Amino acid sequence: MKKIYGFIRLIRPINCLMMGFAVVVGALIAAQMPVAEHEALKLVLGFITASTLTGASMAINDYYDRGIDAINEPDRPIPSGLVKPVESIILSAFLALCGLIAAVLTNPLSSLIAALSLIVSVSYSTFGKLTGLPGNFMVSLCISLPFIYGGVALKGFIEPKTIFFAILAFLTNTGREIIKGIADMEGDKVRGVKTLAISHGPKKAAQAALIFFMLAVILSPLPIILGLVNILFIPPLIVADIGFVVSSISLVKDYNRKNAKKIKSMVLLWMIMGLIAFITGTIK
């Protein structure tokens, strides 16, 4: 049971579910109408692709981060001994295969996007993380692609409307990645990761995260203004926007490691609320 628990923690199920639902949101935005029964399978396959590829990227990332995690997060599955490094590689390969097969069964463009996402996520784990901000952008690209992928899975082409939602996801996740750099400074220094927090100091990094969050908050009302979503989009969006603003200000005022770790977790909650806003706002 401990081994299974370790595998579950390794793939971060909440992240996997978020990416799966992001595909559903992208598909609903692209459909602009209730999804037909014969298209339901495409949604299921899209959900499987996003969630399994996310799990694969989490597992491979923990494999390459096992040295850093031994310092920053010693209770993570690999440094704690719950999962062996080779087991994380096997799990990652299995999940990646499942995701790619589901993408191939969807349509050709879906296969290309899924492959691109996998290449970017593996590249980040192997060398992209060391680059700092460019590495943050690589992670955010993988986080934002599911919204676009949902439209592609359903229609077979990129629906322009889904790009806007991908941009919001890109901005908020980049802010969170910068915060993670503040929280993980000790271990990142050992590995030579050039995060903003290390290159320019935690204060500048906190200010940079604030900018990304504020850009997302400023742009967030546009879907309702442009008629891309319904009024149910507003309540959870307000909660998410307030959360981003308050958390950002808190971090700028207190950018020590302990507060950064707390804010990093809170931002994930606001991102979930944002996803809920996208889901409720696209209900027909």
For the segment 7-18, what is each residue's pLDDT rounded down to a tens digit? Answer: 999 999 999 999
CA angle 167, 172, 177 (to 5 degrees): 120
As a whole number of angstroms, the distance between CA 39 and CA 48 comes to 15
> Of 254, 182, 246, which is closest to residue 214 (Cα–Cα)?
246
Kindly report the number of other CB atoms within 10 A of residue 101's CB atom. 16
- First-residue to last-residue Cα distance in the chain: 42
As a whole number of angstroms, the distance between CA 163 and CA 173 comes to 15
How many domains in the chain?
1
Please say whether the beta carbons of 217 and 244 come within 8 A.
Answer: yes
For the segment 196-243, what is each residue's pLDDT rounded down to a tens digit? Answer: 999 999 999 999 999 999 999 999 999 999 888 899 999 999 999 999
Residue 259, both tokens? 């507060």
Please say whether the beta carbons of 61 and 186 come within 8 A.
Answer: no
Residue-by-residue pLDDT tens, the chain, 284 positions: 788 999 999 999 999 999 999 998 888 888 766 666 667 889 999 999 999 999 999 999 999 989 888 888 889 999 999 999 999 999 999 999 999 999 999 999 999 999 999 999 999 999 998 898 999 999 999 999 999 999 999 888 998 888 989 999 999 999 999 999 999 898 888 778 889 999 999 999 999 999 999 999 999 999 999 888 899 999 999 999 999 999 999 999 999 999 999 999 999 999 999 989 988 888 76
What is the domain extent for residue 26?
Answer: 2-281
Q: Helices marked H in the chain — which ranges?
A: 2-11, 13-31, 40-64, 66-72, 85-104, 108-126, 133-155, 160-183, 185-191, 196-200, 202-219, 222-225, 234-253, 257-281
The domain that holds 113 is classified in CATH as 1.10.357.140
